[in-house]
Structure 1
Amino acid sequence: MARVLRASRRLIFSISRPISPISPSLQSLKPLFASRFQSRDYITEMRKSTIESNLLRTLRSEIQYELEYSPPQQFEKEFDSFSIEDRKGEQWIRLRGKHGEEEDIKIEVTMFDGAVPVKKSGGGGGGGEDVKLHMSLIVDISKGENCDVLEFICSAWPDALEIQKVFMLRRDGTPGAPYVGPEFKELDDELQKELQEYLEARGVNDELADFLHAYMMNKDKTELINWMENVKCFVDK
């Protein structure tokens, strides 16, 4: 028992003793530690600066290349009977037009959303493959505010416009699961032909598809340059 008490007293005594200050030898090492930490921070900042400088240099080079090699053109905001709504930074454009006195036509056009491989044209026997780009069109034809909408879903290739689907959209009282009609290719050939001609009579035709491809190629380049400029400005702050 006495042995236990002596051990307890020694433990209490050791805990209660004041902590000795840092020895002079350790004090002398503090500037060395601080110097090492400062050096490490400096190296980190240098690496960060080098990475950002390289990124900025590459962005400037890419922007200059795009502007010099094939700069974006200034397209008219009209085509045939349609006016064009194009907002900077968006991946679609909208066309509006009229047919006769009653019909309003609205066309929403995506940027390129697909492609298929094709053989390169031209002589020389070089062969090789190119790509044919695809975009989607939603064409809404209406006759007044309270009238239903006849909607065409179309595929636009550089040289052709194809109907994929035809809907009747109700502006009010639409059931939860409306019947949307069959696939266009399943319709009778004569009905397909008449619907195609109906759309073409309103200016939605191969010529429009050709124009939209040129317009979207230009928009794609413009948006790419704007995107790179925005990234550059952010990194450069």
Structure 2
Amino acid sequence: MERLFRSLRKTLVQVLHHRRYGLSSETPLSHSRRTYSYVSEMRKSAFEGNILRLLRNEIQYELEHSPPKQQPVTKFGPFMVDDRAGEQWIKLKSKFGDEDIKVEVSTFDGSAPAPKSGGGGGGADEEDMQLHITFIVNISKGESGRILEIMCSAWPDTIEIRRLVIRASNNTIVQPYAGPEFKELDDELQDSLYDFLEARGINDELAVFLHDYMKNKNKIELIRWMGTVKSFIEKK
């Protein structure tokens, strides 16, 4: 008990001394908390500083070594290109007779091994892979209320029809019958459907264009995304 009183008396003397000479009267516990807060703030600042340094380096590298085209193409063949910043899809629009054609195109969403030109074996590495783009063709005619929807793949130099379905424009049917897989159709019918798309400008040349365009869009969106993250972290 006496030691407790001595300890309390010592603490009281220290507090009075600090107050008398304008010194801090914080307890060891409050001093510890202040020190912890200071250290935490320093760590947070160092962590954010490192992220900002990496982002600046990446942005500078992209801009210096492979800068994107700042004015992407707005027209290709019969199509007008609608590209909105920050979105991962673009839209192509055109008319063919009394048809309104809309093509919705994703950014790269898959890959597959590139076909081998020779007979060599072995597994595919990154250079042997070809990127895949999904695009959906919607064809409507006037006030018919129906849309022919064709889901396709764009490989680097060719298109591939995957499925087609007729659906109502107001989507009243939640799960419309999608028909058979395209490859299950008669070969002659498959060829005729490719000719049908070809006449509307949806062909292998479009596949080449989409791959070039999406490579540039990916670059633009990457740089924009890094800049947005950098601005958020810098904001106080």
TM-score greater than 0.5 by the shorter chain: yes
Q: Residue 180 of structure 2: SS of its match in structure 1?
A: coil
The structural deviation recorded for 1:42 is 1.5
Distance of aligned partners of 1:43 and 1:216 in 2 relative to their CA distance in 1, 3 Å threshold: same
- 1:23 and 2:8 correspond: yes
Distance of aligned partners of 1:119 and 1:180 in 2 relative to their CA distance in 1, 3 Å threshold: closer
> What is the percentage of aligned positions where both structures have the same residue?
52
Distance of aligned partners of 1:110 and 1:40 in 2 relative to their CA distance in 1, 3 Å threshold: same
Q: Equivalent residue for 1:3? A: none
CA contact (8 A) 1:110 1:137 kept: yes
Distance of aligned partners of 1:234 and 1:119 in 2 relative to their CA distance in 1, 3 Å threshold: same
RMSD: 2.3
Q: Equivalent residue for 1:13? A: none
Structure 2, unmatched stretches of 5+, are: 16-24, 118-123
CA contact (8 A) 1:84 1:93 kept: yes
- 1:96 and 2:93 correspond: yes
The structural deviation recorded for 1:57 is 0.5
The structural deviation recorded for 1:107 is 0.2
Letter matched to residue 66 of structure 1: E
Q: Distance in 2 between matches of 1:138 and 1:23?
A: 80
Deviations 1:103-146 (Å, cap 9, x if unpaired)? Answer: 1100000111101133799xxxxx95412100111001111133
Q: Equivalent residue for 1:56? A: 52
Match of 1:209 among 193, 203, 207: 207
Alignment of 1:170-209 (within 5 A): 170-171=168-169, 174-175=172-173, 177-209=175-207
Q: Distance in 2 between matches of 1:225 and 1:89?
A: 11
Alignment of 1:37-48 (within 5 A): 37-48=33-44
- Number of aligned residues: 211
Match of 2:73 among 73, 76, 81: 76
Query: Runs (4+) of structure 1 moved beyond 6 Å?
Result: none
Q: Distance in 2 between matches of 1:173 and 1:76?
A: 32
Letter matched to residue 204 of structure 1: I
The structural deviation recorded for 1:230 is 0.6
Q: Distance in 1 between matches of 2:168 and 2:32?
A: 73
The structural deviation recorded for 1:39 is 2.2
Q: Which moved more, 1:102-111 or 1:38-47?
A: 38-47
Structure 1, unmatched stretches of 5+, are: 1-19, 122-126
Distance of aligned partners of 1:172 and 1:117 in 2 relative to their CA distance in 1, 3 Å threshold: closer
